[in-house]
Structure 1
Amino acid sequence: MIGRGDLFEAIEYLRREGESILARFARSKRGVAYADLRFEAVFNRAGAAVGGEPRDGSESESAAYSVSVHVADASGPVGHGQTGAEIGALACRPAKLVAELRRGLADAYDRARFSARKKADLIAHLGDAAKGLLVAQIPPREKVRDDVDASFRQDPRSLSTDALKKISLDASREVAALGDAIAYQVVAAMTELRREIFIDTAGTVVSQAYAFSQGDCYVVAQIGDGHQESYDSIGQQRGLECLSDGWRGELMPNPDLARFCVELAAEARELAAAPILRPPDGEVVVVTDPHFNALVSHEVIGHPCEADRALKMEAAYAGRSWFLRSLVDNQLGKAVASPLLSACSDPSLDGYGHYRYDHEGTRGRRVMHIDRGIFSGFLNSRATAAVLGVEPNGSARASEGWHVPLIRMSNTFFLPGETPPEKIISEVERGYYVCGHQIPSISESRENFRISARRVYEIDHGRIGRLYRSGSVIADSKSFFSSVDAVGNDLRLIAIPNCGKGQPMQVKRMSNGGPTLRSRARLAGN
């Protein structure tokens, strides 16, 4: 099966010929200041089971490219143009591939010239009111040459679809053995090999490969009038071995798929028998576990720290950022949390959001968002870094080869402290222990939130008590962070497989998490 990977061989062809394709294009077109080319080949297999019975599997191959061009107008403005397309088997034929890339570059060039001309017209008509269009050309950088291999024991291309169906079926049958309280359940498994290359006219050539494997479980439990729906995923940047055997990584360990599904189903059964949370009056002490904090860090730290969102590029359809109202009215350098709390994004860590270079060829690096309570920085692209007057930090990524890169989280999390979670709970006289996340409801600028939990326990004189279902945490973001008075030493990352952003929608994989935290908030029922 590996021998059929002709789409992947297009990567090697572009490694040899891609620079000359770009160079000839740049020489032939007036005003080209910069151009880049990104190509990606993907192989994916999946299988599923429902209620202990097999379902069909799937197999797919795809190839896509994206090109961008910057044109400097004689009067000053820089125009940007981009084109991308899925091309499938066309990638296996070098002459057809080159012709399509040249067509795409010409299209992007025309768009860039049009953009530069329209900017010049607006500046001539509006004067100082249009000075924002005179954003400087993206500064040059050192060229990079690098190859990054995927990590796997089982190459996703070497497996059969039956192997994915079997691992899903085995797990589903173990869930079915839990009894009639499990009213419905679905188990799915996926494995994927993704390889990409980035080339630009500045001399950068970066090839990266990724293996992804993911298991998903959705389960419905019913006991009398008690009803519980639970859904969760496990995933690693590895071969299927991380689902068949489990993975013992330090930050993001996971059991094998069958054990993961059985544990989720057993929890759902227990919750179906538990009473619904009756919300207490006013604020209470809440201790939140790493799984719950994964969604807090995702929604309240990660998204509002994306510079394209903060600069209002998403305001029309996805909201803004509570960290930046404007370039002069923002939280940079100001206290937004307790001195005990820090948060960052770090693509170098071994998580679902790991990568070495973003889709602009920039090396990814750790970005501190909150440093001991002080807000300290955004995720950015080369363009938004120029607007903010900072160095690019390698955060522009696309979900598919033909999409425009957007600013995305990588591994985004709260940093650990030194206190064992057991001690954090033991110090609470009256409060609640909130575990697992389900559904977020976030304000337009993310300055407050309501996030539902899978489990809520009473804490009575330092001991965990009764279990409740259907509870959620409601808080003002800054107030919740500022009230943190204990940070655990139990940092965990949680695989997030489906973060959506942009129009057209791009769905990206990443990791979020943190340690156990203690703060104050209101509780509500779902």
Structure 2
Amino acid sequence: MSELPFRPFESALDHDRSLAQLRAALDGADDGELFLERRRAEALVLDDGRIRTASYDATEGFGLRAVRGEVTGYAHSSELSEAAIARASKTVRLAVGDGGGVMAPPPSGTNHKLYTDADPIAGHAFGVKVDILREIDAYARALDPRVVQVTATVAASCQEVAILRPEGGLVTDIRPMTRVTVSVIVEDAGRREAGSASGGGRFVLDGLLQPEDWQGKAREALRIALVNLRAEAAPAGVMDIVLGPGWPGILLHEAIGHGLEGDFNRKGSSAFAGLMGQRIAAPGVTVLDDGTIPDRRGSISVDDEGTPSGKNVLIEDGILVGYMQDRQNARLMGVEPTGNGRRESHAHAPMPRMTNTYMLGGDVAPGDIVADLKDGIWATGFGGGQVDITNGKFVFSCTEAYRVKDGKVGAPVKGATLIGDGATALQQIRAIGNDMALDPGMGNCGKQGQWVPVGVGQPTIMIGGLTVGGSGS
């Protein structure tokens, strides 16, 4: 495994010849770049006392893009060679045609680094990680005799990118990522339930491998599992919902965030298309997408087009004020790029994507919000969900939720799903807590087959009139 920084123009490629090939490919185009990448990833999974997975993957390659108007030509290869770039150049030229475009100005430069460039994989020996996984297993089992299975994961990766622009600019970024996850299954009187806790970010593994960190995750996973062990069937019907802080912001991310990405709005397929400057949320609702938070999972020093990441206000006091943009959509919509051009890897073209998307806090104590809930659900944990971008309709499953009547928290409920649409939910926010929190660092976002790491966050909020799907009455 190489410990050297990724320097493709000092090894496999010649800078000047690669730049000449890029300029030839983009002759007559509006925009484009040569994106080079090296990625390494390691994952160790201990399941039921045994190492189930010990994987190490290493990939490298390039993607060459030419943009003209709404058309994009893209070619990629895992072979870093001038011959491969020459072949890719001929392919993307087919999209540009005879040209006639005017090259967009380059991204502004930045020296701001949001995370370390240390290799998170090399920091700890393989055997050390295995020993810690075994310690996690033993610790979780010792917490409660009802624990019958433990799964623990240590994962680390490092993505190194270099982006060559036709005007000659070269942007580089080294992006670490780490994560530790602890899941437990408990059994009592023949009933089994699960709980999980995870977290990480763009930093080395040191902190995550300390007992005070993974022991906290093990206790939280057990707590959730034991809550679910005594959960009752969720009720069904239309009712008010209180969402807890932090990770429940995943509902905001899916139901609202995707609808505020520039490409959906340029094409008119978003439920929020054409509503710039109009009220789309209740007063007090302010939503940002912020890729500039140091060490966060969704943060990027520069996006995958070379634009510095931004702190972008999307909704301000209920008014739609911005979309997330890559360079192509920004140009076609007559606005500035926002640093949201992201791609899964060199094999994918960039598109507008979220980074860390969150709602700002209000001035209400979270306990008062729950106390004001007359008949509904208090949801503090979420699993998977689905959303239709065209109308904002969503379905989300709760992993931890409680029945509330007359402001009193009752039994936990199992099987609750929240059903609604983002546009209506925004208007029905009735209270905003003063406890805004970001998630612990475990989110991934899918769009058009591409997956990128993201962050979410929100304070405790109350939403009126959501449909709860459940098995009870």
Using the size of structure 1 for normalisation, the TM-score is 0.80
* 1:192 matched to 2:157: yes
Question: 1:511 maps to what in 2?
Answer: 455
AA matched with 1:517: I
Identify unmatched segments of 5+ residues in structure 2. Answer: none
Tell me the equivalent position of 1:94: none
Mapped to 2, the partners of 1:289 and 1:27 lie a distance apart of 51
1:394-433 matches, cutoff 5 A: 394-433=339-378
Q: How far has the Cα of 1:410 moved from its partner?
A: 0.3
List per-residue Cα deviations over 1:333-359 (Å, max 9, x = no partner). 222210121211010013211112111
Q: CA deviation at 1:32?
A: 5.0
C-alpha change, 1:499 and 1:375, in structure 2 (3 Å) is same
Q: Which of residues 294, 301, 309 is equivalent to 1:356?
A: 301
Tell me the equivalent position of 2:234.
277
Question: Which of these residues, 44, 63, 67, is aligned with residue 66 of structure 1?
Answer: 63
Q: Partners in 1 of 2:11 and 2:111 — Cα distance?
A: 14
1-structure distance, mates of 2:24, 2:354: 37
- Residue 238 of structure 1 deviates from its aligned partner by 0.6
CA contact (8 A) 1:46 1:164 kept: no
Q: Which residue of 1 aligns with 2:46?
A: 49
Matched residue, 1:113: 93
**Residue 219 of structure 1, aligned match among 169, 179, 184:** 184
Aligned match of 1:207 in 158, 168, 172? 172
Paired residue secondary structure (1:485): strand
Q: Kindly indicate whether the alpha-carbon contact (under 8 Å) linking 2:356 and 2:456 is maintained by their aligned counterparts in 1.
A: yes
Partner of 1:172: 137
C-alpha distance in structure 1 between counterparts of 2:26 and 2:266, whole Å: 31
Residue 316 of structure 1 corresponds to none
Partner of 1:287: 242
Measured in 2, the distance between the counterparts of 1:216 and 1:426 equals 33
Matches within 5 A, 1:292-441: 293-312=248-267, 320-324=269-273, 330-350=274-294, 351-441=296-386
Distance 2:358 2:158 in 1: 26
**Structure 2 counterpart of 1:62, one-letter code:** T
CA displacement, residues 475-495 of structure 1 (integer Å, 9 cap, x when unaligned): 232222112121112111222
C-alpha displacement of 1:382:
0.9
Partner amino acid, structure 1, of 2:421: D
Residue 48 of structure 1 and its aligned partner are, at CA, apart by: 1.5
Name the residue aligned to 1:266: 223
C-alpha distance in structure 2 between counterparts of 1:271 and 1:265, whole Å: 10
- What is the CA–CA distance in structure 1 between the aligned matches of 2:255 and 2:103, rounded to whole Å? 29
Matched with 1:83 is: 75
SS in structure 1 of the partner of residue 96 of structure 2: helix
2: CA distance, partners of 1:383 / 1:418: 39
1:499 and 2:445 equivalent? yes
In structure 1, distance between residues paired with 2:312 and 2:208: 30
Quick one: which amino acid aligns to residue 95 of structure 2? Answer: S
Q: Tell which deviates more after alignment, 214-223 or 445-454.
A: 214-223
Displacement after TM superposition at 1:411 (Å): 0.3
RMSD of Structure 2 on Structure 1 (CA)? 3.0
**Per-residue deviation at 1:299?**
0.6
* Counterparts of 2:137 and 2:431, CA distance in 1: 39
The sequence identity of aligned pairs, in percent, is: 20
Q: 1 CA distance for matches of 2:62 and 2:50? A: 39
Measured after TM superposition, the shift of residue 292 of structure 1 is 5.2
Q: Which has the higher helix share?
A: 1
Distance in 1, Cα, partners of 2:136 & 2:215: 4
Report how far residue 390 of structure 1 moved: 1.0
State how far apart, in whole Å, the 2-side matches of 1:48 and 1:371 are. 43
Amino acid paired to 2:91: R
* Distance in 1, Cα, partners of 2:392 & 2:263: 17
1:5 aligns to 2:3 (yes or no): yes
- The one of 465, 484, 487 aligned to 2:429: 484
**Between 62-71 and 330-339, the greater mean CA deviation after superposition:** 62-71
8 Å CA contact retained: 2:114, 2:299 = no
Q: Distance in 1 between matches of 2:436 and 2:243?
A: 12
Give the superposition deviation at 1:258: 3.2
Mapped partners of 2:304, 2:12: distance in 1: 16
Residue identity matched to 1:412: T
Could you tell me how far 1:266 is from its partner in structure 2?
A: 2.9
Aligned-residue offset at 1:160: 1.8
- Corresponding letter in the other structure for 1:185: V
State the TM-score, normalizing by the size of structure 2: 0.88
Could you tell me how far apart the structure 2 residues matched to 1:419 and 1:14 are?
58
Q: CA deviation at 1:332?
A: 1.8
Residue-pair matches, total? 467
Q: Secondary structure at the match of 1:177?
A: helix
Contact map agreement 2:179 2:208 (CA 8 A) in 1? yes
Deviation at 1:177, TM superposition (A): 2.7
CA shift, 1:11, in A, is 4.6
CA contact (8 A) 1:55 1:165 kept: no
C-alpha distance in 2, partners of 1:265/1:245? Answer: 19
Distance 2:410 2:25 in 1: 71
Q: Per-residue displacement from partner, 1:244-277 (whole Å, max 9, x unpaired)? A: 238xxxxxxxx61232133213321231222122
Aligned in 2, Cα 1:154/1:474: closer, same or farther, shift over 3 Å? same
**Matched residue SS, 2:232:** coil
* In structure 2, C-alpha distance between the alignment counterparts of 1:401 and 1:339, rounded to whole Å: 42
SS in 2 for 1:158: coil
Distance in 2, Cα, partners of 1:501 & 1:397:
11
Describe the shift of the 1:469–1:114 C-alpha distance in structure 2 as closer, same or farther (beyond 3 A).
Answer: same
